[in-house]
A and B are shown apart, each in its own frame.
Chain A
């Protein structure tokens, strides 16, 4: 299957820094289309629980797992940060056990922007265990120098439109991950498609390379 790589959206709107902005997501549209075409039914949202997203997803999925890693990681990181062992413990506790029913789509949103390289590797290893072949992961990386200090919330308005909300006024340096970083740090996944938005977000849809 030929998939477009690094397309530039003409419909990109908003900035990573402001509150309540509309975000046109070609990657979400792509991921949902692929998810539905493959008969997927199980979604893992690594972000916080949002009623609107639950209602939106309930029209076409059978099970939704909400991990709220954004909240947990920040509440437990403290000043000393979060080492691999602590993160391992959080992920073992907060990610679902899927047994014979793997996750079809993982919504990671902008979480990776807030993890260092070791943490991304740890997260990738845990996520790979939840996936089947061709499971999808939606990941957004910032191409800007700075990002809001804390991750935001994405409300699904329709299959390609989100509203981005972020209450944090302060900023921090962006790790500036790019596609090669993703494939190196998360070797179980490969980039299926990506879209560069004018707002400074590179959207990726990853798929499992092979079962680990």
Chain B
């Protein structure tokens, strides 16, 4: 179903490859990156433990454990994405759950909710939805600009990473409606 490398024929790996007798010849290192090519359309749930680059279309759900997902410029995803890092260069209609970071590149177009410790929107990117800042603050020890000057302290201090409810991020909903769904 997936390509291991772009422009390579789709050849599914066997479920179990028998151990080669040692000493094993030095084989070229395979990339742990699966590419869903631009002509591929997938409906359903995709899950795995390797990095995925989506240049085609996915409708359903995309869950990658401990690895990154990139939706390339030609990629169109109508699905929630769960991954360690999520980089969007194409179009996504769905919520993005990044364990580490979500980046929407200049060409990226996202409608959904972003939940990640760090969120970056590049200049020119399109985004509509909500961003859970409580988690975003955890990895941003320094604000980009100085805090306002004489501000009366709020009942619960804000802008201090140490004081936040870091351990329990708020769930994605009920938040912004996903216009695409």
A65 close to B176 (CB less than 8 A):
yes
A51 close to B177 (CB less than 8 A):
no
A67 to B134, CA, bound (A): 19
A36 close to B158 (CB less than 8 A):
yes
A66 close to B170 (CB less than 8 A):
no
Residues of B within 8 A of A54 (CB): 119, 121, 131
* Interface 1/0 per residue, B126-153 and A, CB below 8 Å: 1111111110110010011111110111
B145 close to A156 (CB less than 8 A):
yes
**Chain B interface mostly helix, strand, loop or mixed?**
loop
A71 close to B122 (CB less than 8 A):
no
A58 close to B137 (CB less than 8 A):
yes
Say if the beta carbon of B175 comes within 8 Å of chain A: yes
Asked whether A62 and B134 contact (CB < 8 A) given A33-B152, A39-B155, A96-B177, the answer is yes
Asked whether A96 and B148 contact (CB < 8 A) given A36-B158, A37-B154, A49-B128, the answer is no
Say if the beta carbon of A149 comes within 8 Å of chain B: no
B128 close to A64 (CB less than 8 A):
no
Say if the beta carbon of A56 comes within 8 Å of chain B: yes
Residues of B within 8 A of A48 (CB): 126
A59 close to B159 (CB less than 8 A):
yes
Asked whether A64 and B126 contact (CB < 8 A) given A36-B154, A54-B121, A99-B174, the answer is no
Asked whether A65 and B129 contact (CB < 8 A) given A54-B119, A93-B177, A97-B177, the answer is yes
B145 close to A56 (CB less than 8 A):
yes
CB distance from B148 to the nearest CB of A (A): 4
Tally of A interface residues using CB under 8 Å: 41
Q: Which partner residue on chain B sits nearest A53 by CB separation?
A: B121
Asked whether A62 and B170 contact (CB < 8 A) given A54-B131, A56-B144, A96-B177, the answer is yes
* Interface 1/0 per residue, A127-153 and B, CB below 8 Å: 000000000000000000000000000
Asked whether A65 and B148 contact (CB < 8 A) given A41-B158, A51-B122, A93-B177, the answer is no
A93 to B176, CA, bound (A): 9
B148 close to A29 (CB less than 8 A):
yes
**Which one, A40, A51, A60, A71, contacts B147 given CB within 8 A?**
A60
Residues of B within 8 A of A (CB): 104, 119-123, 125-134, 136-137, 140, 143-149, 151-156, 158-159, 170, 174-177, 179
Q: List 22 A-B contacts (CB under 8 A).
A: A33-B148, A36-B148, A36-B154, A37-B152, A38-B154, A50-B121, A56-B143, A58-B119, A58-B136, A59-B159, A60-B159, A61-B158, A62-B170, A65-B129, A65-B175, A66-B129, A66-B131, A67-B128, A68-B127, A93-B179, A94-B128, A96-B176
The 4 closest A-B pairs by CB, nearest first: A59-B143, A51-B121, A49-B127, A159-B148
